Structure 1
Amino acid sequence: MTYRPSTIRLSAEQVTLVDAAARRLGCSTGEVIRRAVDQYLLGQQLLTASDLRLRRVCEYAQLAMDAILQENHPEFRDGILAEVNNRMERYHGAR
């Protein structure tokens, strides 16, 4: 694999931690930084996939609950939606 040189700025504490990790792992500081970047990018991909799954599950649950309410308890639907709006504003700052 070929590498392209890059310059990054680290705090003194970060340099100390990267150097210690390199000694512990028996590799260069550059390798520690490359591994950290790889892990971060992989984590972001997994987070994105997990976030998408969570959103899909939430949408499904909301649609299913709305269908159940409309069919079996339409008298509660407006009150529930009003409370959802109150909680969205209270806990998430959304209106």
Structure 2
Amino acid sequence: MDLERDYGLTVSSLQPHAGGFATDGWVADELWFVKMWKEGEPPTGVELLGELRALGLPVVEPVRTVQGELFAMDGGRAYAVFPYIQGRTAS
């Protein structure tokens, strides 16, 4: 993934995050959560997050790419960037 090319973000730290459901995740500079779907699996429901937010629900929506998209592609895998909210892993 290329956060600078796709999102205009320059990060100094990218740490794995063990909380994804059928996805891989990383925390970038304690500011961003990067979610990457498995190869060949397109992200579903990311557009719904913005719709829920517009209705006033406390939902974190993805950051748009420099091209205005909700996710970017890297080697056949889609990935999205969200503001990072520190919490606990769901169980």
Greater fraction strand: 2
Q: Which has the larger radius of gyration?
A: 1
| TM-score when normalising by structure 2 | 0.23
Q: Which has the higher contact order (CA 8 A, sep 6+)?
A: 2
